Chains A and B, each alone.
Chain A
Amino acid sequence: MVTKVHMEALSPTMEEGQLVQWLKSEGDEISSGDILAEIETDKATMELVARGDGILRKIFLDAGGVSVVGAVIAVIAAADEDISGIEVSSDGNGTQQALPEESSAGTEPVAPEELEAAATPETTADTQGTDSVRASPLARRLATEMGVDLLTIKGSGPGGRVVKRDLEGAKTAISKAAATTTWTSEENEYEDLPTSQMRKSIAKRLVTSIGPVPTFYLTIEIDMNRVIGARESMNNMLEEDGYRISVNDIVLKAVAAALRQHPNCNAQWHDSFVRRFNAVHLGVAVAIDEGLITPVIRNAHAKGIMQIAAEVRELAGRARTKKLMPDEYTGSTFSVSNLGMFGIQEFTAIINPPEAGILAVGGIEETPVVVNGEVKVCPRMRITMSCDHRVIDGAQGARFLATLKSMLEEPTAILL
């Protein structure tokens, strides 16, 4: 009997699939239930299972190739059967009805939009995320606790069952990522956190609304009284050595320190995972004649204010003379743009992909503020953060800004 192997709808919202690799070759004997290939769907890499017995006679779609759901991508048949009439096609089926078990004669083809709408993030996480994975009950529980998608874990138990030991590696990664407030040079540069189904769904929907980087903005006003005082006393100390520290240098230092406490804002979107950085590499926007460039203060979290100040000055100087090397203006994990010196009170900055956030820093203004029931004049500064909503949610960004505000209003907190 001839069994056509279709690109199956391996997720409710899948419209096409990429063939990651064939696990069987032409000429191999196939039994129903054998895993034929790995297919990357819009959600994850899934296994394509044989639905008939025989010999894998012909493969139409090579590894790396993409095919719409329903297309014939291979043929299983007896060794002597004639398969010459079978072609690569969508086989006359509605694309969403390619799965033989799931399609029943007479049902209306379901529009992809409806399917997607029906699949709430919660249910996709449950039904798509783990049901197709073999895992011990303990491994399932640990994965849930650790926030690890079992689909991303390679099982070492019988039949590929994911067991406790397979999660040990993931555990180390998570705990390392959690220890982001310690400053060690041995730690990993970054951790890749598998994107959950909810995250993927959020990303997909937001991009269709505002894209390709779905950005939202958060503004906070900060009392700069203490920063100004701290800057004065630092500059007094440094006067003999000829160094000068700017308010922006202190802001940069505070941003780096605050990002260490909120690593989810120091991250990048990579579709199947979110790359969360331990190190803070700060891009500092510098205006030059032709436009704008962002030299990078590497490991800003581990540098003192004086060193940051010196580097900014040195890099900005060479930026204006266009003498920066490529590795001096690439690889930043978060950026800061300051237009305060141009008298700008408040503005929004455009995210520099693949970063997930940028701060737009306005100038310090003497502002009347109500303090304890009295109007006082205080030096205030406004910072607006642009956030990539695929990575950062509103509350996360707000918490980061709250930390930044508390550090700038009490600069000694930066030292903690």
Chain B
Amino acid sequence: MATMTYRDALNEALREEMDRDPDVFLMGEEVAEYDGAYKVSKGLLDVFGDQRVVDAPISELGFAGLGVGAAMAGLRPVIEFMTFNFAYLALDQIINNASKLCYMSGGQFKVPITFRGPNGPALQLGAQHSQACETYFLHAPGCKVVTPATPADAKGLLKASIRDDDPVAFMEGELLYNFKGEVPEEDDFVIPLGVADLKRVGSDVSIITHGKMVHVALQAADKLESEGIEAEVLDLRSIRPLDVDAILETVQKTNRVVYLEDSWPYAGAGAQVVSIIQEEAFDHLDAPVLRVTQADVPMPYAKNLEALAKPSVERVVGSCKKVLYR
């Protein structure tokens, strides 16, 4: 195992995939000369040249569409959005083209494209630049959505996303780039999409979550442990495709679930998971499933209000106790 940052793990994944497959190229704002706004593509221009590491103009709809066309023509583009907040500009290309062309062409076109970049609330960036955007990409069928929480998952899942023949929204945690963790040193470390990971084993309550919130869940589990409650933390890793078996397994084990996400509650990933749980595992529930989410408001700028709007360890602990009737 090598200890590295989430940023370096992503960099390794890009480097290995570009090295392995000449069809893989990276395009986005400032990805080449500037090494990327978050330095994820550091050094790639020197290794792979400006034909494969391409600086794009400030035109998300334009370069996302260029990527979709390149994917249809047989390449494997990795399109970096400086943040997923800007990907809203490219939603027509992502949702109406990338996600639907395989279906609409009767399978004649594959669109093996990876849209990647930071996602999720950061610190005091205001309502437009501090939000978890995954619901937009989840909603329509056709696009896979991957949300790695650790350096190892970041590397293994990015490699799988680039190799996948469908479009993938690969949503990195903006506050996780400096997070360090162990990454297996094997030659070709790939984590298949659609396989959840039990980040902590427990028996009393299941916290199901994805992305950056995995760390909040783990902190909450630590706190609960000091009060004699064993919380299980299930990291979905990809929320489309969804590891329903792993979800049902943990529900059947603990009978109590809290879904944690830093996106809004309305029609979010958590709402979908809760719906599946009540449909498939109703007779295993000992309490209603609760959700801890971003408050249903645009992210406030004021520090105190921002803290109140975001999911916190305390709110997760409180919800876990509630489903345990404590």
**Is B286 engaged at the interface, CB distance under 8 Å to the other chain?**
yes
Contact A158 B325 (CB under 8 A): yes
B276 to chain A, nearest CB (A): 15
Q: Chain A contacts of B282 at CB under 8 A?
A: 137
Task: Describe B's contact surface by its main secondary structure.
Answer: loop
B123 to chain A, nearest CB (A): 37
Interface size on B, residues (CB 8 A): 8
Q: Mask for A151-170, Cβ within 8 A of B = 1, else 0?
A: 00000111000011100000
**Is B315 engaged at the interface, CB distance under 8 Å to the other chain?**
no
Q: Which residue of A lies closest to B325 (CB)?
A: A157
Contact A164 B283 (CB under 8 A): no
**Is A138 engaged at the interface, CB distance under 8 Å to the other chain?**
yes
Cα-based distance from A164 to B204 in the complex (angstroms): 12
Contact A140 B283 (CB under 8 A): yes
Mark out the residues of chain A between 374 and 405 whose CB falls within 8 Å of any chain B CB in the assembled complex: none
Cα-based distance from A136 to B323 in the complex (angstroms): 11
Contact B325 A156 (CB under 8 A): yes
Q: Chain B contacts of A313 at CB under 8 A?
A: none
**Is B255 engaged at the interface, CB distance under 8 Å to the other chain?**
yes
Contact B285 A137 (CB under 8 A): yes
Contact A137 B325 (CB under 8 A): no
Q: Chain B contacts of A165 at CB under 8 A?
A: 325
Contact B325 A138 (CB under 8 A): no
B73 to chain A, nearest CB (A): 52
Contact B283 A141 (CB under 8 A): yes
Q: Chain B contacts of A164 at CB under 8 A?
A: 255, 286
Cα-based distance from A156 to B326 in the complex (angstroms): 10
B258 to chain A, nearest CB (A): 15
Interface size class of A (residues with CB under 8 A): 10 to 19
Chain A CB count within 10 A is highest, among B282, B283, B285, B286, for: B286
**Is B198 engaged at the interface, CB distance under 8 Å to the other chain?**
no
**Is A315 engaged at the interface, CB distance under 8 Å to the other chain?**
no
Q: Mask for B253-284, Cβ within 8 A of A = 1, else 0?
A: 00100000000000000000000000000111
Mark out the residues of chain B between 280 and 318 whose CB falls within 8 Å of any chain A CB in the assembled complex: 282-287
Mark out the residues of chain A between 134 and 185 whose CB falls within 8 Å of any chain B CB in the assembled complex: 136-141, 156-158, 163-165
A385 to chain B, nearest CB (A): 40
Q: Which residue of A lies closest to B255 (CB)?
A: A138
Q: Chain A contacts of B283 at CB under 8 A?
A: 137-138, 140-141
Q: Which residue of A lies closest to B287 (CB)?
A: A136
Cα-based distance from A267 to B287 in the complex (angstroms): 36
Q: Chain A contacts of B284 at CB under 8 A?
A: 137-138, 141
Contact B286 A139 (CB under 8 A): yes
Q: Chain A contacts of B285 at CB under 8 A?
A: 136-138
Q: Chain A contacts of B255 at CB under 8 A?
A: 138, 164
Q: Chain B contacts of A136 at CB under 8 A?
A: 285-287
Cα-based distance from A90 to B302 in the complex (angstroms): 67
Cα-based distance from A138 to B256 in the complex (angstroms): 10
A168 to chain B, nearest CB (A): 12
Chain B CB count within 10 A is highest, among A157, A163, A165, for: A163
Q: Chain A contacts of B325 at CB under 8 A?
A: 156-158, 163, 165
Cα-based distance from A157 to B324 in the complex (angstroms): 9
Q: Chain B contacts of A163 at CB under 8 A?
A: 286-287, 325
Q: 21 interchain pairs (CB within 8 A)?
A: A136-B285, A136-B286, A136-B287, A137-B284, A137-B285, A137-B286, A138-B283, A138-B284, A138-B285, A138-B286, A139-B286, A140-B283, A141-B283, A156-B325, A157-B287, A157-B325, A163-B286, A163-B287, A164-B255, A164-B286, A165-B325
Given contacts A137-B285, A139-B286, A163-B286, 16 further A-B contacts (CB under 8 A): A136-B285, A136-B286, A136-B287, A137-B283, A137-B284, A138-B255, A138-B283, A138-B284, A138-B286, A141-B284, A156-B325, A158-B325, A163-B325, A164-B255, A164-B286, A165-B325
* Shortest Cβ-Cβ A-B pairs, 4 listed: A141-B283, A138-B286, A164-B286, A136-B286
Contact surface of B with A, Cβ cutoff 8 Å: 255, 282-287, 325
